[in-house]
Amino acid sequence: MSAAFGVDLIEIKKARRFYRSHKDRLNSFFSPREITFIHKNKNPHENLAVLLASKEALFKAAPCFGTGLAAFREHKLMLQKKTPAQSAFKFSVLKNKKYVVVQCVGI
């Protein structure tokens, strides 16, 4: 039996550009809780990068969750409190000045 594994890397400067371009439309992509998480940082684009990488890593680890924007909106991550889907996965986040890397492993 193989373990579910997904990893994603987001360039922080690209997350900054995305945030600047779409900050007024975040509710098109994210739940209210996810938006609150994004805005908890004085540099919200950094939390946006963590959230984007986390969702992508989860989809890579568990393709059964779907793909595309509909799946992206449907599956909400609560990074302070785990959802039932997240309870089956362990997330590790590494961040430096240039990148956010998230690893998602099925447990």
The CATH number of whichever domain residue 93 belongs to comes to: 3.90.470.20
Instruction: Spell out where 1-107 has E strands.
Output: 5-11, 89-95, 99-106
Q: Give the whole-angstrom CA distance, residue 59 versus residue 24.
A: 25
pLDDT band for position 67 (cuts 50, 70, 90): low
Q: Which amino acid is at 74?
A: E
Residue 12 has pLDDT above 60, yes or no: yes
DSSP classification of residue 97: S
- Residue range of the domain that includes 60: 5-106
Token representation of residue 26: 């975040």
- Among candidates 1, 3, 15, 36, which has minimal Cα distance to 105? 3
The count of domains in the chain is 1
Averaging pLDDT over each range in 51-55, 62-66, 103-107, which range is the top one?
51-55
